[in-house]
Amino acid sequence: MKKYIVLICMLMMAAYAGATEVTLIDKTAFETTLDGKEISLYTLRGGDIVMPVTNYGGRVVALWAPDREGNMEDVVLGYNNIESYINNRGERFLGACIGVVANRIAGGKFTLNGKEYQVPLTDGVNTLHGGNTGIDRVVWDVVSVTDNSIVLHYMAVDGEEGFPGNRDITMTYTLTDDNGFKIEYKATTDAPALINLSNHSFFNLKGEGNGTILDHELTINADQITRTSQNLIPTGELMAVEGTPFDFRTPYIIGERINSDHEQMRFGSGYDANWCINQEREGEITWAATLYEPASGRVMEVLTDQPGIQFYSGNFFGGWVKGKYGRTHKARESLALETQKYPDAINQEGFPSIVLNPGEEYTHTCIYRFSAR
């Protein structure tokens, strides 16, 4: 009888070990030099999650999280080699830190302290996520690495991509004991500058390449979005979500209203808008959103001290580029939830300011916390 008990325990342990297995990415496929700076891959572990990161663009390459049975899946999109990021043929911003100004600037134009600036247009009309290069296409310095954290640094010099000021940026990724992926940004400048950073990981809680995200359930802690024109530039008006497809104050299946004929939905070809987070106190870390995938039971909560969160439902993936596991990245098979200040804030009176002056410090905290139910 004792032998049978031991055998059963061994089988259970083997089954559990198989369920929680993580496929690590080959580090050597990320080891190269660009512009005289070394690129590599760093694998962080904390709680039950595992996250490989590269210092090229501060990109999250993979993020392994358990489902309700303990089965592990990689829930972010990415590539298994650095060449695919550098010479990218698909979505540019996979897993990257974006900026120095995340989101859009109308016409690439703004005025700061009476001086007019024109920065590169990324779509022929507006500037998106910092210009043609941005901080997603540079090699960050690795300040320090531990088992569960990495500190990255980048100096965006005055005039880079047309933006003023030497902006000294430090970004820390930490995996916490409660399965949180915590991002902390800090920045200073020697002259008046703009800064609005975010992370652009694309999530599918079923796992990369495992089908649609339209059956995911989403809740967003916001009563309003920033209404936009056809080219997704804010009009300056805050639009109430009540009675619209943008009302996620209670949980909704993403695909239930995504093909609505609402004007704002047509402009984005699906969800691509900034929600104004309900904050009791400015600058306080607040629950912003919860994403739930019913089949696996995986849950991702988003918390931040920022006033906005951009929900993009992955509408423009072409389906011709393969990810880490040989499956293609298709439209609406991943989504982004980007915490940040509002789009085009420098040109919109009344929006939270993205101006950073000498003697001030920009700070931003975002937490993606994983669980299962």
Residue type at 350? Answer: G
Among residues 161, 208, 333, 338, which one is catalytic? 338
Catalytic-role residue among 129, 200, 216, 364: 200
Q: Read out DSSP for 215-228?
A: T-EEEE-EEEEEEE
The CA distance from 194 to 129, in Å, is 12
State how far the Cα of 326 lies from the Cα of 313, in Å rounded to an integer: 22
- CA–CA gap between residue 271 and residue 96 (Å, rounded): 20
Q: How far apart are CA 342 and CA 237, in angstroms?
A: 12
CA 340 to chain centre: 10
The answer to whether the CB of 373 falls within 8 A of the CB of 295 is no
The DSSP result for 103-158, as a single string, is: SEEGGGEEEETTEEEE---SSSSSEETTTTT-GGGSBPEEEEE-SSEEEEEEEE-T
How many angstroms separate the CA atoms of 6 and 44, rounded? 34
Catalytic residue list contains 338: yes
User: Which phi and psi angles does 265 have, rounded to 5°?
Assistant: -70, -40
Across 146-163, b (16+ Cβ under 10 Å) vs e yields eebbbbbbbebeeebbeb
Q: Which amino acid is at 206?
A: K
Burial 106-116 (b: 16+ CB within 10 A, else e): bbbebebeeee
**Which positions are annotated as active-site residues?**
200, 338
